[in-house]
Structure 1
Amino acid sequence: MKPLVSLGDLAWDVLAKPDTMLLPGGDTTGRLELSGGGSAANVAVWAQRAGHPATFIGKIGQDHFGELAMAELRAEAVEAEVIASAEHPTGVILALIDRRGQRAMLTGQGADWELLPAELPQATLRGARHLHLTAWSLFRDPPRAAALQAAALAKASGATLSLDPGSFQMIQQMGRETFLAMVDSMPFDVIFPNDDEALAMSGERDHSAAMAWLRSRYPQALVVLKMDEEGALLEGPATPRTHVPATPDRAVDATGAGDAFGGAFLAGWLAHGDPVRAAHLAVQVGGWVVGRFGARPPADADLRARLAAQA
């Protein structure tokens, strides 16, 4: 089976959930966890967990964090085509999680931001069933040129393409029109915005209007809108607008839930081609992740039951 290939960021996550409000000069207790992360790497892990072979392409530093992040990918049976840089460290992401489980991210730009077109594994891209990109690979250059070349190589060889817009704040900082001009040049088949990203892209004020704008702007694409506790809304060229409700899982930590949703959705969609069925799987997996700490909690009986029920 041809793999799903996810290109972009592999980083080391530092998750911090304080027990009380952080005050300047103060001290508090809380929960801390260190693990492999990065949006593109997370999507590869969750596609693999959901049953579709996955390969990750990216760049790390020649350091201990890079070794640990790679070890976690290998433990998940994800293939990796990774360039190890002696000039740049492995990226580190700090996720501060509030009592509602929502997170704010501080991203340290590391080697994952330095991928060059000449470093792309062209045979892997030409052999892909599907290529997934996150906008973290588009917000600056490098790695933008490498991401765009990867998309061209994969599409020319018959792969489908998906895009996660990545960050509403980065879209705003880049400038809406600049970001849209770049996205317009990409022949993607699926786009995975969350509510904030859809509003930032569309300029609309609610998700229904944002969905209509996205479908008008990208008529060739299946739009899968992630709406947190409201579930998911999807619509595409052959898919009527459909709402898939969220699970009742209590939010502990939203870190990586959107990536888990995307990886599970793509695994299901590539297996059977039914986007609504894939969205039901993705909502179950995303809900499971939200109810736990970290982007890739260890699989348990509950997760295995959810995957089996949606197979």
Structure 2
Amino acid sequence: MSLGDLAWDVLAKPDTMLLPGGDTTGRLELSGGGSAANLAVWARRAGYPATFVGKIGRDRFGELATAELRAEGVRAELTLSDEHPTGVILALIDRRGQRAMLTGQGADWELLPGELPGEVLRGGRHLHLTAWSLFRDPPRGAALAAARIAKEAGATLSLDPGSFQMIQQMGRENFLHVVDDIPFDVIFPNDDEARAMSGETDHGRALSWLRDRYPQALVVLKMDEEGALLEGPGQPRVHVPATPDTLTDATGAGDAFGGAFLAGWLTHGDAVRSARLAVQVGGWVVSRFGARPPADAELRARLDRFSLSGVGA
């Protein structure tokens, strides 16, 4: 189960540099997005049942984003707002495939504790949060309440730190103060987020800092073309290499990695095997355009190599 942002994505990859007052051609794509929603989609694509909990506007973008979520087989537990529109995210992708995001604060930023589906949260085996639900309140109160409800019911928790820039804007100590109150079992920082949280510039030292700060958690450090580095309680430090896929668009790759990892980890509990699946899925995503490219034979072949069995609810 994933809680947080469901939005409408606008992806733009100009053919040439954008100049003030200028005009150029490029590639555009519109689709459902949001980090928490993307992760739920990728967990489902990897073979694990997924539910998304969030808030959207009662508008056309919300209808479209919800329809795409349900078409992926994800159960959608949504609060509809008449006061706030569905969020819109603009992703500007440069010629190297790296992206910069502009996130419009829509209804997903207005989720309140009283709007949470308590029975759904109590019935889940795992709850995933992104820091996009923690950077301001609301929706922070709802995210923290959801974590308490799920944990008290016996669920495991995971967290994606979300954005190094938003961590910096919130203030490192303020962000850590909030995160320290979440008893998460897995954390998925990328390289920039690990640096922003730890103050360290080296992969290994950043991972050691996170392990010292959160000794109960499995830390899965996403390092782009360098793969992933993981360590946790009972799990010695292991490096999982990246795939040789060519970078086209990095949008959503971290969410795809997280969703695939959780699908494996919740099924069989093997963190290294789960990370190997996750880098395969992440590599496939970065070699295509968008956060949820249509599945093809190559993706199905990668998933089949790490097929899940004995999947629980």
3-state SS of 1:125 partner: helix
2:257 matches 1:261:
yes
Counterpart CA distance in 1 for 2:76 and 2:102 is 25
1:27 alignment partner AA? D
Match of 1:309 in 2: 305
- How far apart, in 1, do the equivalents of 2:14 and 2:69 lie? 28
Are 1:42 and 2:21 counterparts?
Answer: no
How much does 1:310 deviate?
1.5
Identity of aligned residues (%): 83
- Tell me the equivalent position of 1:146: 142
- Is the partner of 1:297 in helix, strand or coil? coil
Output the CA distance in 1 between the equivalents of 2:234 and 2:30: 42
**Distance in 1 separating the partners of 2:150 and 2:58:** 28
Residue 68 of structure 1 aligns to a residue whose secondary structure is helix
Structure 2 partner of 1:176: 172
Counterpart secondary structure, 2:284: helix
* Whole-angstrom CA distance in 2 between matches of 1:247 and 1:58: 33
Alignment-derived partner of residue 100 in structure 2? 104
C-alpha distance in 1 between matches for 2:70 and 2:212:
41
Distance in 2 (alpha carbons) for counterparts of 1:14 and 1:64: 15
**Could you give the per-residue CA deviations for residues 188-234 of structure 1, whole angstroms, max 9, x where no partner exists?**
00000000000000000111110010001000000000000000000
Distance in 2 (alpha carbons) for counterparts of 1:105 and 1:287:
20
Q: Distance in 1 between matches of 2:286 and 2:306?
A: 18
1:80 is aligned to 76
Q: 2-side partners of 1:252 and 1:54: how far apart?
A: 27
Alignment match, 2:200: 204
Q: Give the Å deviation of 1:62.
A: 0.7
Shift of 1:299: 0.4
Q: What is the TM-score when the length of structure 2 is the normalising length?
A: 0.98
TM-score by length of 1: 0.98
> Of the candidates 118, 123, 130, which is equivalent to residue 119 of structure 2?
123
Cα distance in 2, alignment partners of residues 219 and 100 from structure 1: 37
Confirm or deny that 1:113 pairs with 2:81: no
From 238, 245, 249, the equivalent of 2:241 is 245
Aligned to 2:231: 235
**Whole-angstrom CA distance in 2 between matches of 1:66 and 1:218:** 36
Q: How far does residue 72 in structure 1 lie from its aligned partner after superposition?
A: 0.1
Q: Does 1:64 align with 2:60?
A: yes
Alpha-carbon distance in 1 for matches of 2:188, 2:92: 23
The correspondence for 2:131, drawn from 112, 132, 135, is: 135
Aligned positions, number: 307
The aligned residue for residue 226 of structure 1 is 222
**1:102 and 1:295 mapped to 2: Cα distance?**
13
Give the 3-state SS of the residue equivalent to 1:146 in structure 2: helix
Output the CA distance in 1 between the equivalents of 2:99 and 2:214.
29
Structure 1's unaligned 5+ residue stretches are none
Give 1:165's match in structure 2, choosing from 146, 161, 166.
161
Q: Which amino acid aligns with 1:69?
A: A
1:33-61 CA-to-partner distances (Å, cap 9, x unmatched) read 00000000000000000011000000000
- 1:17 is displaced (CA, Å) by 0.3
The amino acid that maps onto 2:300 is: R
Matching residue's letter, 2:270: D
Q: Post-superposition shift, 1:89?
A: 0.3
Inter-partner Cα distance in structure 1 for 2:63 and 2:93: 26
Residue 310 of structure 2 corresponds to which residue in structure 1? none
* Gap regions ≥5 residues in structure 2: 308-313
What displacement does 1:187 show? Answer: 0.2
Instruction: Please give the alpha-carbon distance, in whole angstroms, between the structure 1 residues aligned to 2:266 and 2:60.
Output: 35
Instruction: Say which SS state the counterpart of residue 30 (structure 2) adopts.
Output: strand
Aligned-pair CA distance for 1:291: 0.4
Query: Aligned with 1:33: secondary structure?
Result: strand
Name the CA distance, whole Å, in 1 between partners of 2:27 and 2:204. Answer: 37
1:29 shift after superposition: 0.5
- Which among 10, 13, 19 is matched to residue 17 of structure 1? 13
